[in-house]
Amino acid sequence: MNKLKFSLVVLLGACSYGILSSILKVGFSNGYTFPELLGGQYVFGWFGLLLLVLTFSRHKVSLKNIVTLLAVGTTMSLTSIFYGFSVKELPASIAIVLLFQFTWMGVLIEAIANKTFPSREKVLSIIILFVGTMFAGGIFEGLGQQLSMKGILFGLLAAITFSLYIFASGRVSTEVPIYSKSFLMTTSATLFVCIMFPPTYLMDGTLQAGLWKYALILGFFGVVIPVICFSIGIPKVGTGLGTILGAVELPTAVIASITLVHEVVSPLQWLGIVCILLGIFIPQMLNVRKERQIARFGNETTEF
């Protein structure tokens, strides 16, 4: 049951990520650019984590852990940047399907790291998730489009960096307190974003004119919540299951687009959402059943 509890924490982090696309769309409709919104997200998220560290987690961290976590943090920002470029070059439905290749990539990375073949439950889950992602992303409704190779490359790079981020969250510096770990990863991510997109909005009046509202929401849902949730949950559930749980981001994104941006979702997309939810919960249900069988077997042996 502890594993189920930590799985729910990872789900919360993934759901938090899922809200971002709709908030970005609202920001775009109000005249803000991707660099402004992305930069504001990381700057405000960084300040939020700084406040948490100063309040709850004034622990010393070794130089080795600091360097390692700063390196891991760049995968966060690279995912956001690559995905942003992919969306610019491709229809959003195609870009999200490319990003969601992180589900099988994460399971593959875990299998290589552990030198073990993925379990039947994970393989079944990945197949269902893949089919669900194709439907939920609306890719079958956009067949025959001329697609940018540059956009496809950026989408796959986003998937690779996101799977590496999830893997590192569960393996690197697990002894470092959660808030300190999250803050250090976000520090390098924020610096990288500011180098790629100089934060001119901090000085030209854009922030005060209204960008701050979007930056605050994006920083909370796009940095603070998911980074902390992944830092807590993924070391407990493992990288493979963590990436499978992360797939809940897509159904959340679709539901958020209906409620916040009033987009229309086709029946095929709803079918895809159901498939994704099944792909997420099947390994959970099978694990719970396996734990109950083990516990029952243990009780039977003790009786003898």
Q: What are 51-95's pLDDT values in tens digits?
A: 999 988 777 889 999 999 999 999 999 998 998 888 878 777 677
Residue 70: give the domain boundaries. 2-122+145-264
What does the DSSP assignment read for 100-169? TTHHHHHHHHHHHHHTSPPPHHHHHHHHHHHHHHHHHTTGGGGTT----HHHHHHHHHHHHHHHHHHHHH
Distance CA 294, CA 304 (A): 16
Cα-atom radius of gyration of the chain, to the nearest Å? 20
With respect to residue 278, please indicate whether it lies within any of the assigned structural domains. Answer: no
pLDDT at 296 over 80: no
Distance CA 166, CA 57 (A): 23
Run of H or E residues at 270: helix 267-303
With respect to residue 103, please indicate whether it lies within any of the assigned structural domains. Answer: yes
Distance CA 264, CA 27 (A): 19
Structure tokens at 182: 């999250």
**Per-residue pLDDT at 266:** 82
Share of the chain above pLDDT 70, in %: 92
pLDDT tens digits, one per residue of 234-248: 988 888 888 888 888
| Cβ-Cβ contacts under 8 Å for 13 (sequence gap 6 or more) | 225, 226, 227, 228, 229, 230, 233, 246
Q: What band does 287 get if pLDDT is binned at 50, 70 and 90? A: low
Q: What is the mean pLDDT of the chain?
A: 86
**Per-residue pLDDT at 302:** 54
With respect to residue 79, please indicate whether it lies within any of the assigned structural domains. Answer: yes
How far is the CA of 228 from the CAs of 96, 165, 235, in angstroms?
23, 13, 12
Distance CA 230, CA 243 (A): 10
Question: What is the count of structural domains for the chain?
Answer: 1
Helix, strand, coil abundance in the chain, percent, nearest 5? 85, 0, 15
Higher pLDDT, residue 299 or 136:
136
With respect to residue 23, please indicate whether it lies within any of the assigned structural domains. Answer: yes
Distance CA 260, CA 247 (A): 20
- Mean pLDDT for 112-138 is 84
pLDDT tens digits, one per residue of 204-214: 889 999 999 99
Q: What band does 25 get if pLDDT is binned at 50, 70 and 90? A: confident
pLDDT at 112 over 60: yes
> 68, 187 in Cβ contact below 8 A?
no
pLDDT tens digits, one per residue of 194-206: 999 999 998 988 9
Residue 165 half-sphere exposure, CB side, CA atoms within 13 Å? 26
Distance CA 28, CA 36 (A): 10
Higher pLDDT, residue 145 or 50:
50
> 141, 22 in Cβ contact below 8 A?
no
Run of H or E residues at 287: helix 267-303
**Per-residue pLDDT at 120:** 80
pLDDT tens digits, one per residue of 131-186: 888 888 777 766 556 678 898 899 899 999 999 999 988 888 888 999 999 999 99
As a residue count, the chain comes to 304
pLDDT tens digits, one per residue of 100-110: 888 888 888 98
**Per-residue pLDDT at 295:** 64
**Per-residue pLDDT at 282:** 78
